[in-house]
């Protein structure tokens, strides 16, 4: 176990390779989420906060901010730098795969390598969210989460971003040895260009999974984030309309389905659910109109006598 009172220099090395793990961020995180997470951590580890409300990580909080958190944020706050970070991480994942060394010890990372493709995104995001809730609760916990997220991210890159490099046929008998750094540089002169990440699309993919699982609250949460990036995303509005319809939030459902039909009047899914919506709203109005109001309460004897006395 890590000494609960000491800062470990190895954390700096891990954070340099994977600043996402250092800040407790998903590889899908965009500018807004990165800034929000950084502010949360900076506030939590601020000396004034730690002085008035000391925690198990107080004694190393200043070192964490200066040596791990701030440098990590500087590498992620601009998209150009993030692209470079992802390219290097993807290159590393490919190297480990080629060398047969992509064998994480972290259980969730092992699971991520085995689960069906359709479940990868949601499993990855859920695991990240679970891990970061306790990331700064103690020194031991920070070390565990940093290592776990780093392994999880490499497994995710292997599944979703990088493609394994197949050994080149040279006509020679393969020799079981580890290639030197010089040989690796000759084979891979530079890291491959990272793919362009469509953050709105990734939110949409997770939202569709949640819709299929009938988890409408999480679907709505993902879709609202996606619409901040792509306000006119037709499919995003369509799914959001469906989610609100299933939650019986008919006003919100109508607003989003209406927006879909403004953008594409022939959108078959929006047309279908608009009809369902109107039918349900008509049924709701009909049921409301059939409610019999309660009979007025009979006047009490005292009230009747008082009215007669007053000539009413």
For the stretch 54-77, pLDDT in tens is 777 888 888 999 999 999 999 999
Joined together, the tokens standing for residue 127 give 């695991």
Separation between Cα atoms, residue 160 and residue 89, nearest integer Å: 13
Domains identified in the chain and CATH numbers: 7-162 (1.10.287.110), 199-290 (1.25.40.10)
Instruction: Check if the beta carbon of residue 17 is closer than 8 Å to that of residue 89.
Output: yes
The mean of the pLDDT values for the chain is: 81
Q: According to the model, what pLDDT value does residue 168 have?
A: 36
Q: Residue 192: phi, psi to the nearest 5?
A: -65, 155
Q: According to the model, what pLDDT value does residue 292 have?
A: 61
Q: For residue 207, count CB atoms less than 10 angstroms from its CB and return exposed for 0-12, middle for 13-18, buried for 19 or more.
A: buried
Q: According to the model, what pLDDT value does residue 36 have?
A: 93
Among 265, 209, 219, smallest CA distance to 242 is for 219
Q: According to the model, what pLDDT value does residue 256 have?
A: 93
Using the CB atoms, write b or e for 143-172: b if 16+ within 10 Å: bbbbbbbbbbbbbbbbbbbbeeeeeeeeee
- Give the ranges where 18-78 is alpha helix by DSSP (H): 19-23, 31-45, 47-52, 61-64, 70-76
Q: Which of 33-42, 110-119, 184-193, 277-286 has the lowest mean pLDDT?
A: 184-193
Q: Residue 175: phi, psi to the nearest 5?
A: -110, 135
Q: Which residue has the tokens 């695991």?
A: 127
Joined together, the tokens standing for residue 224 give 């609202």
Joined together, the tokens standing for residue 105 give 């010890």
- CA angle (236 as vertex; 76, 211 as ends), nearest 5: 100
Rounded mean pLDDT of 31-50?
A: 90
Joined together, the tokens standing for residue 47 give 């000396």
Separation between Cα atoms, residue 105 and residue 206, nearest integer Å: 26
Separation between Cα atoms, residue 216 and residue 219, nearest integer Å: 5
Joined together, the tokens standing for residue 289 give 């109109």
Whether the per-residue pLDDT at 299 is higher than 80: the answer is no
Whether the per-residue pLDDT at 268 is higher than 60: the answer is yes
């Amino acid at each position: 176990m890590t000494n609960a009172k000491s800062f470990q220099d190895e954390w700096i090395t891990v954070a340099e390779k994977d600043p996402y793990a250092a800040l407790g961020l998903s590889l899908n995180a965009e500018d807004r989420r990165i800034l929000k997470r950084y502010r949360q951590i900076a506030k939590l580890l601020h000396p004034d906060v730690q002085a008035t409300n000391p925690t198990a990580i107080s004694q190393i909080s200043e070192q964490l901010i200066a040596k791990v958190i701030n440098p990590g944020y500087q590498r992620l706050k601009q998209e150009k730098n993030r692209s470079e970070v992802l390219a290097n991480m993807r290159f590393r994942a490919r190297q480990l795969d080629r060398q047969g060394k992509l064998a994480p010890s972290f259980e969730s990372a092992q699971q991520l390598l085995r689960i069906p493709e359709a479940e990868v995104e949601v499993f990855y995001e859920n695991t990240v969210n679970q891990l970061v809730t306790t990331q700064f609760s103690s020194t031991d916990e920070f070390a565990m989460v940093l290592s776990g997220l780093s392994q999880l991210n490499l497994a995710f890159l292997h599944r979703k971003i990088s493609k394994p490099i197949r050994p080149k046929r040279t006509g020679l008998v393969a020799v079981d040895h580890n290639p030197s750094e010089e040989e690796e540089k000759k084979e891979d002169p530079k890291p491959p260009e990272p793919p362009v990440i469509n953050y709105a699309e990734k939110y949409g993919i997770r939202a569709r999974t949640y819709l299929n699982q009938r988890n409408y609250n999480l679907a709505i949460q993902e879709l609202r984030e996606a619409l901040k990036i792509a306000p006119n995303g037709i499919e995003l509005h369509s799914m959001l309309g469906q989610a609100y319809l299933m939650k019986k939030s008919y006003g919100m459902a109508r607003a989003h389905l209406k927006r879909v039909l403004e953008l594409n009047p022939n959108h078959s899914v929006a047309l279908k659910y608009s009809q369902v919506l109107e039918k349900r709203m008509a049924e709701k109005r009909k049921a409301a109109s059939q409610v019999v109001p309660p009979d007025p309460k009979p006047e009490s004897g005292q009230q009747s006598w008082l009215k007669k006395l007053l000539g009413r």
